[in-house]
Structure 1
């Protein structure tokens, strides 16, 4: 996956502390990794991420107690 253009949040800062979430897109998938462990990659479909964000914004995301 080294050929992909990984992007990190502008909120990560420029301290270089290696604690950043990075994302890239390939056809039909989004890939996520932590900058300090780039060999571990989470793959998901863009629709699943959109549904997660929609649930969070709509208040449908609740933690169980």
Structure 2
């Protein structure tokens, strides 16, 4: 089974230590998020929950 490629946040480009947030679509349709300096810790959310989170973050900025 092929593994998806983690995508780095565009806001993480200037990180001195290479630490950044990465995201990938899981094979089960979930959205998975991790921090590059702790790749074994992965948060997972449904697409609808992830979309609600993004809308909330964008509304605050």
Common fold, TM-score beyond 0.5? yes
Gaps of 5+ in 1: 60-65
Give the TM-score normalised by the residue count of structure 1. 0.68
**Distance in 2 between the 1:38 and 1:23 partners?**
11
**Distance in 2 between the 1:50 and 1:29 partners?**
11
Equivalent residue for 1:36? 37
Gaps of 5+ in 2: none
Give the TM-score normalised by the residue count of structure 2. 0.71
Equivalent residue for 2:18? 18
**Distance in 2 between the 1:55 and 1:11 partners?**
17
Which structure has greater helix proportion? 2
